[in-house]
Structures are given as structure tokens and as C-alpha cells.
Structure 1
């Protein structure tokens, strides 16, 4: 009789351990830690650093000319990738901008960092356009390209 009791006790102990493991696993999964692919925004954003730069020169007749640029001027992104775009203002006081097709706008100021986050859901070429330097008469065009492939 004691042998039967030991076997039952072993089974009960195994059942308690299995239930405990299942319960702790359920809690782990329910908090989004166990299966990161199922958790929202589980993939960290890839940070891309840009700067606002300026080219300046003097013509033969002594006139100063300048052009403002995003650097790098073109960035490559994979479709579905979460991006954190960190733009630092080096030249020029203010660069209000839009990113066409992504419904993003912002402003880069000299000596400051501007950060925008987005997910590149659709393939295409998206222009980042400085509204201050839109054409050659205003030191532009200051246009960069985000290529989503």
C-alpha cells in the first residue's frame, strides 16, 4: 500500500511542477516577453543619423553663393522597417521640413537634434524637403531621398 501511495505522490508532484511551469510560461507569454515576434513594435528602430550641411563658395565676381543639403542625401530602408531618423542642425538657423508621403513634418534648428520615427510600410521614394530652401534662389533645393525597397 505504501508503494501505491509513493507512485501517486510522484505523479502529483510531477503534475504540480508541470502546472507551475505552464502557469509561469503563460504569464511570460501574456506579457509579450516570450514571443517577441507577436509583441507590438518588438523590433527596435534602426537609427539613421543625418546632418544639415552647407556648401559655400565665392564666384569670380566676388558674389557669395551657398547651398544647403541633407547629409546623407539618400537613405535606403527595407519595407516594413521601423526607422528613427535623427537629424542634427549644423548649418543654417532653421529648416522646417516635410517628408512627402509619410505625413511627417518637423523642424531642424542649428545646434539641436530633431528625431522622427516612422515605419516604411510601402515601397517607393519619399522626399524630405526643407521648406526654407525650396529652390536655387533660397540656397536649395534642399531635398533628400528615403528609398524604401
Structure 2
């Protein structure tokens, strides 16, 4: 008959490994998959923008300025409802329209304008400030909405 000698160190190692395996099994039973969190965030997709202004003086003393949407380009998923929140920082007001849609509105200084968007067609849509459409009116104040 042969005897097997188990050293204390081996016994401790086996016990430690058994505890780790049991703990990981127990924790995995109650772990919520990360995918469901991503799906929940996808339901509540929102984008924040502001109105901005660049102003400077040329060498001959002429003051020039230009207005813009910031960020100037945003990406939204096709077919998903998106909340666009625009806060008016610079400029008294910015009447706008989104090309290719019936969406129109006005962003006023110190106020937040909230628009719900849903684009069924892939493409690039322009958010155009009607008060600043070209350089003669301190523009163009255009943002690009990329739908893919």
C-alpha cells in the first residue's frame, strides 16, 4: 500500500483555487450583461450643441465676426429617435431649419431649444441658421448631421 503525502502548501493552494472558482460561479449568476446597458443608452440618444461666435479685428481696424454651431458635425443612427438640445450662447437669436426635413425652430440667447429627430434615410443633413447663411451675414452658420 502506498501513502500519498500532501504538503500543507498544496492543501492551501487547492483550497484557494476552489474558493476562487466557487466565487466566480456565484458572481456570474447575478451579472447583468453589458449589452443590455448599451441597449438602454441607445433608447435615450441625445446630443448637446451650443451657438458660438468668433470675433476679431483686422489690421486696418475692421471688426469681423462669424457664428457657428458647436459641434459643427454630429452623427446620429438611422431610424433611431434622437434628442437634439441646442443652447444659445452667442447671438440674440438663430432661426434655423434642417435641410431635407420640415424641422424649423429658433435658438435664443440664454435658452435651450430641444428638438426630437428621427431620420429614416441615410445621408448628410445641414442644420442652417437662416440669419447667418453666408459671409455677408457673419456666416455661414451650418452644422452637418451625418445619418448612418
Separation (CA, whole Å) in 2 of partners of 1:118 and 1:45: 12
Match of 1:36 in 2: none
Match of 2:46 in 1: 47
Match of 2:56 in 1: 57
SS in 2 for 1:121: coil
Q: Is this contact kept in 2: 1:73–1:145, CA < 8 A?
A: yes
Match of 1:83 in 2: 82
Show CA shifts across 1:50-101 (max 9, x none).
0000000100001100000000000011111211000000000010000011
Task: Give 1:120 deviation, angstroms.
Answer: 1.7
Separation (CA, whole Å) in 1 of partners of 2:85 and 2:140: 21
Separation (CA, whole Å) in 2 of partners of 1:45 and 1:83: 7
Task: Give 1:144 deviation, angstroms.
Answer: 0.5
Number of residue pairs matched? 107
Pairwise CA RMSD of aligned residues?
1.0
In structure 2, list runs of 5 or more residues that go unmatched: 1-41
Match of 1:135 in 2: 134
Match of 1:39 in 2: none
Q: Is this contact kept in 2: 1:126–1:145, CA < 8 A?
A: yes
1:66-145 pair list within 5 angstroms: 66-145=65-144
In structure 1, list runs of 5 or more residues that go unmatched: 1-42
Match of 1:29 in 2: none
